[in-house]
Amino acid sequence: MFEAPGRKALVETALAAFQEDILPALDGDRKYLGLMIASALSTAVRELEADADRDGIQRVLDGFAGLYGEDNVERAGHDAEAKLDILSRDLTRELREGLYDNSLTGPVHTLLTVLAEEKLKLSNPKFLAAREYSQPTPN
């Protein structure tokens, strides 16, 4: 079932072939489209790496536990991905309803920071590595 090459290796091979053989031959609008495809494939590789590294998921679940309590996180389900989906929907609804409008400090700030960092690991790891963004100081 899990024969080599794995999903990550396949996507990496496709990305390398695309970047080395196809992308240099493109120009104009096709070059732009090619760069978008290469970026998407790079993101897919990072997501596959993140699947193998569950630390990020645990950081986010810990952030939700800090906001909602460990018992509520456990009640969200057994599968980590399903938990993240349910808890993220709850947080989104609560933010939309203005539940945290008066105070975006404490556990909600910590959780939002963790969520942003984990998303940046996938979408723009160079930005996160530079850590040249400013954080508001809580009053």
Question: What's the pLDDT score for residue 135?
Answer: 54
124, 128, 84, 57: CA torsion to nearest 10 = 110
Q: Report the pLDDT value the prediction gives residue 30, as an integer from 0 to 100.
A: 95
d(C-alpha 31, C-alpha 37), whole Å: 10
Rounded alpha-carbon distances, angstroms, from residue 84 to 100, 112, 115: 19, 13, 11
Q: pLDDT tens for residues 54-66?
A: 778 888 999 999 9
Residue range 62-79, pLDDT digits in tens: 999 999 998 888 888 778
Domain ranges across the chain: 7-52, 55-130
Structure confidence at residue 22 as a pLDDT band (50, 70, 90)? very high
Model confidence, pTM: 0.61
